[in-house]
Chain A
Amino acid sequence: MADKVEFELVSPEKLLLSEAVDMVVVPGTEGNFGVLPGHAPFISTVRMDVIDVYNDGKVSERIFVAGGFAEVTPQRCTVLAEVAMPLADIDRAEVEAEIRGLEEDLQASSEADLGVLIQSRLDVARAKLDVLAQQV
């Protein structure tokens, strides 16, 4: 398939998505970039935001990623994400509850290790809210 890009989205726990698509727009740390077939080999870090998958001129899928790396070759675009979930699956109320819970945990925890862990979860949850806010 010359006019398609193999798009792969991988998290440490599993391969989330692997399909041929027309274009992907990846949120790089230095700005979004679109990947079409035949893109020059390229590696970038990814910020917390939304990946847009384009098929037939429309956005066919929107996926939230919490940072990671993207590797682009002429045939492929691979995104290594630590956390990834379809935008449609993010529930505002749930995220808000999660943030409240995590904030309490952060107050309560004294261990430094645990604090870092909670803080990173909190950052992810807040990024989810930001992304949701942009959609409205």
Chain B
Amino acid sequence: MPSLKDLRNRITSVKSTQKITSAMKMVAAAKLRRAQEMAEAARPYADRMGRMLGSLAVSMKDHPGAPAMLVGTGKTDVHLVIVATADRGLCGSFNSSIVRDARRMVAEIEQGGGTVKLLTIGRKAGDQLRRHYGDRIVEHYTEMDKPTLDFEKAAMIARRVTEMFAAGEFDTCTIIFNQFKSVISQIVTRHQLIPFQAVESEGDKATDDAEDLGGAVYEAEPSSEEVLMELLPRNLAVQVFSALLENYASEQGARMSAMDNATRNAGEMIDRLTLNYNRARQAAITTELIEIISGAEAL
């Protein structure tokens, strides 16, 4: 049976925890709004890039000189898996669900006889994967959102990936991240980056384009090949960037709902502890009264 003082201490400590969690929830909510704005603002570029690449890719698909980034190396032996998580925890199952999916993917590929290389983004991915797959991690990036999550950082990662691809270090590349659906639901998504896969955009867009062009094919300057050679690495950066933005928004969403739960739990705990505290206080008073009365009677 805890003493009154113990209970009082517990209540104070849970109360201060509740203050922290509710503050974290507020911060996450504010950051989420910013993250959503950023994701919104970045969408036009990714859309247009996808459209451009899509139209060029169609004309280049069966071309013998098509760049390897577009059609693949013809092998699927070595996979590069980019695992993107957050730097911090306290956001529910956000990090662990990505890492779990990454583990599953590694296991799948290795069962199929392939080799896996990992590129981790975010401290959590590195920490959680290092134990089992430490020898497969080729590159590790952290602190993507400091000071702000900008395109340059994504471009840096993309440049590294492009270099590795050019050096023949892997055949296919997939990124795993959390797609932001809503505050309470984030979906772990695998997106194949190399060879290029057209992003599914809203259906009405495609018909718009068909009208625009009247079926005509794009001229390209200097040449389709050269434009593609520039476009593909850039597209990689854009894909990484939008994945990171989605991830960032998801992280904040996950943290917000996790902290909301924590705040509620703390509230319940405080109620229960307060009840116990009052009971114990009353019991003590009753005991004291009985002592006094029985003392008086004994006289």
Closest CB in chain B relative to A116 CB, distance in Å: 7
- Tell which of A12, A41, A69, A116 touches B159, judged by Cβ atoms closer than 8 Å: A116
Query: Which of A54-62, A72-80, A126-134 interfaces with chain B?
Result: A72-80
- Tell which of B154, B155, B159, B219 touches A40, judged by Cβ atoms closer than 8 Å: B219
Instruction: Check if A37 is an interface residue, CB within 8 A of chain B.
Output: no
State whether A15 touches B41 (Cβ < 8 A). yes
Chain B residue with Cβ nearest A116: B159
Instruction: Check if A123 is an interface residue, CB within 8 A of chain B.
Output: no
State whether B217 touches A12 (Cβ < 8 A). no
State whether A71 touches B52 (Cβ < 8 A). yes
Residues of A within 8 A of B (CB): 8, 10-15, 28-30, 40-45, 69, 71, 73-76, 78, 80, 82, 113, 116-117
**Residues of chain B with a CB closer than 8 A to A44's CB:** 220-222, 227
State whether B151 touches A12 (Cβ < 8 A). yes
Q: Is the interface of B mostly helix, strand, loop or mixed?
A: helix
- In the assembled complex, 18 residue pairs joining A and B whose CB atoms fall closer than 8 Å, in A order, are A10-B44, A11-B151, A12-B151, A12-B154, A12-B241, A29-B222, A41-B213, A41-B219, A43-B219, A43-B227, A44-B227, A69-B52, A69-B227, A73-B212, A78-B48, A80-B234, A82-B151, A117-B152
Please judge, given known A-B contacts A13-B150, A116-B159, whether A69 and B231 are in contact too, CB under 8 Å: yes
State whether A69 touches B230 (Cβ < 8 A). yes
Instruction: Check if B42 is an interface residue, CB within 8 A of chain A.
Output: yes
Closest CB in chain A relative to B139 CB, distance in Å: 10
State whether A42 touches B219 (Cβ < 8 A). yes
Given contacts A69-B52, A69-B227, 7 further A-B contacts (CB under 8 A): A10-B44, A11-B151, A42-B221, A44-B221, A44-B227, A45-B221, A80-B52
**CA of A109 to CA of B154 in the docked complex: distance in angstroms?**
20
Interface residues of B in 220-244 (CB under 8 A from A): 220-222, 226-227, 230-231, 234, 237-238, 241
Please judge, given known A-B contacts A44-B221, A82-B151, A113-B160, whether A13 and B227 are in contact too, CB under 8 Å: no
State whether A13 touches B52 (Cβ < 8 A). no
Chain A CB count within 10 A is highest, among B44, B52, B55, B220, for B44
